[in-house]
Amino acid sequence: MKLSSVMSILAALFLSGACITASAAETYEINAEARVFNPDIVYIQPGDSVQWVNMAVGGHDSVSIEGLIPEGAQPWRSQIGENFGITPTVEGVYAYVCEPHIGFGMMGVIVVGKPGNIDAAMAFAQEKLQGPYRRIIGKLLKVQQAAAQK
Ligand SMILES: [Cu+2]
């Protein structure tokens, strides 16, 4: 096969992949329950949205954890008791907490596309996080193990 035909096949594959990626951004809901986010780990694609709902009952917020979002990604802090949404575009692992209930381990992880920063995030969490923030490590471990199985 000529190089030019290989290139055109690769180009066609790339374009069809791009079309699949561009189609139908989705919205994923994370329900604030008594002292947990459900689901606590969410897998989405770049451009999809995440909505935290039921935040008023019990007074929850969502605050990204410094050092545990991908480089170049936008950190966030919602108002306590208000539903909130983000549409992350940078691929990687994002971790967040509910500050009023961090002592209960109310926190979660969003994986956008490939979790390219999971090892760095895990290292950061183990070295830098203090007190109840360390409870995110168990959730990062689940993401790390799932990534290793692919
Ligand atoms: Cu809460």
DSSP string, 98-144: -GGGGGGT-EEEEEESS-TTHHHHHHHHHHH--GGGGGHHHHHHHHH
Residue 7 in domain: no
Q: Evaluate whether residue 36 is within a structural domain.
A: yes
Contacts of 107 (CB under 8 A, 6+ apart): 37, 40, 65, 95, 96, 97, 98, 135, 136, 139
pLDDT of res. 35 = 94
Average pLDDT value for the chain: 90
Q: Report the separation in Å between the CA atom of 97 and the middle of ligand 1, taken as the mean of its atom positions.
A: 8
2 pLDDT tier (thresholds 50, 70, 90): low
Total domains in the fold of the chain: 1
* 8 inside domain: no
Q: Is the confidence at residue 7, as pLDDT, over 60?
A: no
Determine, yes or no, domain membership for 17.
no
CA of 116 to the centre of ligand 1 (A): 28
Strands of the sheet with 63-64, listed across from one edge: 41-44, 107-112, 92-97, 63-64
How far does residue 107's CA lie from ligand 1's centre (Å)? Answer: 8
Q: Is pLDDT of 3 > 70?
A: no
Tell me the CA–centroid distance for residue 6 and ligand 1, in Å.
53
43 has pLDDT over 70: yes
Is pLDDT above 80 for 101? yes
CATH number (domain holding residue 142): 2.60.40.420
Q: CB-hemisphere CA count at 13 Å for 26?
A: 9
Structural domain includes residue 9: no
**Scanning the structure block, which residue is given the tokens 């990687």?**
92
Q: Is the pLDDT of residue 13 over 50?
A: no
- Whether pLDDT at 38 is above 70: yes
Identify the weakest region by mean pLDDT among 11-25, 62-76, 124-138: 11-25
Q: Determine the structural domain holding residue 102 and report its residue range.
A: 25-148
